[in-house]
Amino acid sequence: MAKTTRKKSGRVRHWRTAANSDRHELYELSVQGTESDCAFIDRVFRQRQHRTPHSLREDFCGTGLLAREWVSWRNTNTAVGIDLDPAVLRKGRERIASLPLAARTRIQLKKGDVNKVRTDPADVLVALNFSYFIFRTRAQLLEFFIHARQGVAAGGMIVIDAYGGSGSWSIGEEERSLDGFTYVWHQARVSPITHEVTNHIHFRFPDGSEMRRAFTYVWRLWTLAEIKELLIEAGFHAPVVYWEGTDRKSGEGNGVFKPSRSGEACEGWIVYIVAEN
Ligand SMILES: C[S@@+](CC[C@H](N)C(=O)[O-])C[C@H]1O[C@@H](n2cnc3c(N)ncnc32)[C@H](O)[C@@H]1O
């Protein structure tokens, strides 16, 4: 439920409104789960590589929330985040400034195109929240995976995610009530021919105000088979899809992702895909 404060007049004032909210903060609160991402990366890396991962490169890092979480996760961890947009990087750097000094020295946000920037090879390269769906042809996605592979150390891993299911092909809005605001996922356009989709994120507030189209994504909805094939073409080994288990009581996802060969025909799913260099 939205937190509210009571004015002296007795009128209730809502603490979040479209006018006083930062869309990047709302985005982080709505769609990012960086603690569970770090736990997943750590667990799967140890299982597959039999050692502890330390260096992480976050492509399409936005405000670099995952990179920040990673350097706080273990005091030997380092992170490099890459994004094209100077405005999100500015936000990210402001937040890095509030990390303890020891963590601050182990994180760097770089402005650049993920397909051009060169970095020291990392144990793990991540591209989450479907950011690589901006590549809308096979050739473009292959180019991204080839470039990403150059950023992964030998014996390292790429970790990406993907979504799908019958519901991803329908037009409509899905609302989720969060801390003082409502997150709205709006699937506005889907093309069964090109597999292109246009999705928006809107934020609505208890005072009736709205931040419409706070974010818009024009993506290709890639299938898991295509993604696995392209990872192999780019030189990665053994791509594995990690499918989320189901909570028996609620029927919803339980947050536990395990390797799966076939998945399940459900309305909506999100998976991690992991491949080795
Ligand atoms: C959906 S946000 C992802 C934010 C965050 N990584 C997450 O997991 O939620 C996508 C980001 O990709 C950035 N971006 C788009 N094309 C890019 C490119 N070619 N190189 C680097 N960043 C890019 C955008 O500026 C945007 O900040």
Q: Which residues contact 87 (CB under 8 A, 6 or more apart)?
A: none
Please name which of 213, 220, 224 lies closest in space to residue 270, comparing C-alpha atoms: 224
Q: Is the CB of 67 under 6 A from ligand 1?
A: no
The whole-model pTM stands at 0.94
- pLDDT for residue 14: 65
Evaluate whether 26 touches 211 at the Cβ level (below 8 Å).
yes
Please classify residue 105 by burial: count the beta carbons closer than 10 Å to its beta carbon, then call 0-12 exposed, 13-18 middle and 19+ buried: exposed
Domain boundaries defined on the chain: 4-21+166-219, 26-164+222-276
Using most ligand atoms within 8 A of CB, pick from 38, 60, 116 the residue to mutate for ligand 1.
60
Please classify residue 193 by burial: count the beta carbons closer than 10 Å to its beta carbon, then call 0-12 exposed, 13-18 middle and 19+ buried: exposed
Centre of ligand 1 to C-alpha 109, Å, is 12
Residue of the nearest CA to atom 18 in ligand 1?
Answer: 113
Residue 11's pLDDT band (cuts 50, 70, 90): low
- pLDDT for residue 53: 98
Q: Is the CB of 85 under 6 A from ligand 1?
A: yes
Please name which of 222, 269, 274, 275 lies closest in space to residue 245, comparing C-alpha atoms: 269
Please name which of 244, 257, 88, 234 lies closest in space to residue 165, comparing C-alpha atoms: 244
Q: Is the CB of 134 under 6 A from ligand 1?
A: yes
The listed range with the strongest mean pLDDT (2-16, 100-114, 251-265) is 100-114
Q: What percent of the chain is modeled with pLDDT above 70? A: 95
- pLDDT for residue 1: 36
Which CATH architecture describes the domain 26-164+222-276?
3-Layer(aba) Sandwich (3.40)
Question: Which secondary structure element, helix H or strand E, spans residue 174, and what is its range?
Answer: strand 172-177
CB atoms within 10 A of CB 17: 17
Task: Quote the CA–CA distance of 47 and 34 in Å, as a whole number.
Answer: 20
Q: What average pLDDT does the segment 238-250 reach?
A: 93
Amino acid identity of 100?
P
- pLDDT for residue 252: 86
Residue of the nearest CA to atom 22 in ligand 1?
Answer: 83
Two tokens, residue 111? 């402005």
Please write the tens of the pLDDT for every residue from 48-90.
999 999 999 999 999 999 999 999 999 999 999 999 999 999 9
- pLDDT for residue 2: 36
Give me the helix-helix angle, 65-73 and 86-96, nearest 10°. Answer: 30
- pLDDT for residue 7: 46
Q: Which residues contact 155 (CB under 8 A, 6 or more apart)?
A: 49, 51, 276, 277
